[in-house]
Amino acid sequence: MRIPALPGVVAILGALCVVPVAARAETYTIETPVSVKGLPPEVIDGAVTCAVFTEVDGHSSNLGYGGFGSAQFTVKGGAFLGRLRVPVQLDVASASLLRSYRCTLYFIRNVGGERKSATAAGLSEPGSPDYREEFRRARGSRFAGEVHGSL
Amino acid sequence: MTPSTRLLDPLGPALAAALAAATLAAAAFAAAAATQSYSYRVELAETAKKPQVRAGNVNWECRGKYCIASARGGNVSVRGCRELAGQVGRVVSYRSEIKRLEGDQLDECNAVLADKGSPPKSAPGKATGLAATATRPGSPPRVTTEELTFTGVHDWSPAR
């Protein structure tokens, strides 16, 4: 049997190494300022989830879904003020294909020792199935439970 | 005489036999239900991240914002929902032909998505007060969004 020349062996080994690296999902980082206060004591954590889309209006239509990511923060004294970096794992070949994003604020409550999460909008919007009186918003305060934009 | 037979004895043998038959019928019905196959349908908040996943010991087929499966018994569980949500995304409806998860159970199911964000969680002590930051070293942000903000009515200032 003929033994392949050294350059050929190196090329084959190189190709074997490159395939898993190329298959690894790219991460797209979205930074989101967060300002929450006056939360009820049952809120222990918060989270921001972001989804990205290859369609310009994907943030509203959900068309062209391109990836999802989440980051948490700790709520102390009913408040948190800071900037979260949300690592979004892309399901598309390249970040250059992305056209829009949507990020949503969640609150995580400790209910009888169990963590229960719901959107800030759902918890604080009267009429929502998730609405809870203790999450009513301060009169005249600004509220943004979801932000979206172009990429 | 055992307590149970003492209870049945005054009812007479015919009623005891009827009770036994009813018990057997109920057991048979339960066994049939447990072996019968039911369709499951799940609606997601966003397009499923994977087309085929295994969660809750069931093979799911996902297309767009819906996942379907077939399994015996027709029962639904938060555990199965969490396994599915962790792979395909936030669940807004999780039901079989005969049972469904309610709102609180869906919250519990979707909490797995927040839990998955644990690594970027701000370090204890950094997120206190009003000037904490949860950013971490790593890949630089590609975009910075507008602020997410909420002001509730709970007063946390120290009691005077």
What local confidence, expressed as pLDDT, does residue B22 receive? 66
Q: Give residue-wise pLDDT tens across range B51-92.
A: 888 888 888 888 888 888 888 888 888 889 988 998 999 888
Closest CB from A72, A114, A143 relative to B120: A72
Of B104, B70, B106, the C-alpha closest to B85 is B106
Tell which wins on pLDDT, B126 or A97: A97
Nearest CA in chain A to B140: A29
Residues sharing a CB contact under 8 Å with residue B12, sequence separation 6 or more, in sequence order:
none
Distance to chain B for A103, nearest Cα, Å: 8
Is A25-150 a CATH 2.60.40 domain? yes
Nearest CA in chain B to A61: B46
What local confidence, expressed as pLDDT, does residue A124 receive? 96
Domain parsing of chain B, residue ranges: 32-115
* A60 in contact with chain B, both atoms CB, cutoff 8 A: no
Q: Choose the mutation target among A43, A50, A117 for the interface with B, i.e. most B CBs under 10 Å.
A: A117
**A112-147 burial: b if 16+ Cβ within 10 Å, else e:** eeebbbbbbbbbbbeeeebeeeebbbeeeeeebbbb
The dihedral of CA B29, B31, B34, B37: what is its sign? negative
pLDDT higher than threshold 80 for residue A68: yes
Global pTM value:
0.55
Helix-helix angle B103-115:B78-88, to 10 degrees: 40
* A151 in contact with chain B, both atoms CB, cutoff 8 A: yes
d(CA B92, CA B23): 38
pLDDT higher than threshold 50 for residue A108: yes
Q: Give residue-wise pLDDT tens across range A8-19.
A: 554 444 444 444
Domain parsing of chain A, residue ranges: 25-150
User: Residue B27's pLDDT band (boundaries 50, 70, 90)?
Assistant: low
Distance to chain A for B63, nearest Cα, Å: 12
Tell which wins on pLDDT, A13 or B129: A13
Length, in residues, of chain B:
160
Nearest CA in chain A to B44: A62
User: Residue B95's pLDDT band (boundaries 50, 70, 90)?
Assistant: confident
A116 contacts B149? CB cut-off 8 A: no
The pair phi, psi for residue B99, each rounded to 5°, is: -140, 160
User: Residue B136's pLDDT band (boundaries 50, 70, 90)?
Assistant: very low
* Predicted complex ipTM exceeds 0.95: no
Q: What is the mean pLDDT of chain A?
A: 85
Nearest CA in chain A to B50: A91
User: Residue A101's pLDDT band (boundaries 50, 70, 90)?
Assistant: very high
Q: What tokens were used for A149? A: 């934009």
Distance to chain B for A121, nearest Cα, Å: 9
Distance to chain A for B52, nearest Cα, Å: 14
